[in-house]
Amino acid sequence: DAGITQSPRHKVTETGTPVTLRCHQTENHRYMYWYRQDPGHGLRLIHYSYGVKDTDKGEVSDGYSVSRSKTEDFLLTLESATSSQTSVYFCAISEDYSNQPQHFGDGTRLSIL
Amino acid sequence: AQSVAQPEDQVNVAEGNPLTVKCTYSVSGNPYLFWYVQYPNRGLQFLLKYITGDNLVKGSYGFEAEFNKSQTSFHLKKPSALVSDSALYFCAVRDMFEGNNRLAFGKGNQVVVIP
């Protein structure tokens, strides 16, 4: 398995609170991604990074921000969590953006009450 | 825009029978195609990919997939299903134009292999 660690694995929090999820990789891959998985929607890209301090928006980026200060760490922040952000969040990494597959962490289950 | 359709929510198959999971795609250029499998409480695991070359691609755990450009399909197949193949399967596509570094995923197919 690719060396990807997501933390925390589970979190319950209240509406309006800030939340930060962490993705840590040991593969030294350039590309890192944050997805959310919801029933009936498959996986949807939130943000991705193509290098240290280089990030871009995905298809569902509203309400989320990211930061990547080191190659191995990619943080996802919900500035003010809402119930619609209750989901399972997955981090993925890849060596390049073209023909190499993405490899996924085991996810963070986030519940916002 | 790139997109994937997985038309069946759930596929039921008896153990030992052939398994097929359907995927069709839409891209403006040429596709890179991927299949992933997800077991409960785990992340997606890569099974196989089509980039170029032979239309029949072989992957992990005895799975294979056939790329059909005229039908814009990339169906996943296994000759003899196992109970342990019960999982959620995702097809994904990337449109092969410069600068596109995003994958589009289908909604997933739940596969149930009946003993």
| Per-residue pLDDT in tens (0 to 9) along chain B, 115 residues | 789 999 988 999 999 999 999 999 999 888 999 999 999 989 999 999 999 889 999 999 999 999 999 999 999 999 999 999 999 999 999 987 756 778 899 999 999 999 9
What is d(CA B109, CA B37) in angstroms, rounded to the nearest whole number? Answer: 10
Question: What CA dihedral angle connects B73, A96, A60 and A19, to 10 degrees?
Answer: 140
What is d(CA A39, CA A93) in angstroms, rounded to the nearest whole number? Answer: 23
3-state helix/strand/coil string of A13-51: ECCCCCEEEEEEECCCCCEEEEEEEECCCEEEEEEEEEE
Give the distance from residue A83's alpha carbon to the nearest chain B alpha carbon, in angstroms: 21
Q: Mark yes or no for CB contact A42/B45 under 8 Å.
A: no
Q: What was the pLDDT predicted at A96? A: 79
Q: What was the pLDDT predicted at B98? A: 58
Nearest CB among A4, A40, A102 relative to B103 is that of A102
Q: Mark yes or no for CB contact A43/B94 under 8 Å.
A: no
Q: What was the pLDDT predicted at B58? A: 95
Burial of A69: CB neighbours in 10 Å, binned 0-12, 13-18, 19+: exposed
What is d(CA B72, CA B22) in angstroms, rounded to the nearest whole number? Answer: 11
Q: What DSSP line would sit under B42-76, residue for residue? A: S-EEEEEEE-SS-SEEE-GGG-EEEEETTTTEEEE
- The 10s digit of each residue's pLDDT in A58-89 is 999 999 999 999 999 999 999 999 999 999 99
Cβ-Cβ contacts under 8 Å, B34 against chain A: 101
CA–CA–CA angle B87, B91, B95 (5° rounding): 165
Burial of A5: CB neighbours in 10 Å, binned 0-12, 13-18, 19+: middle
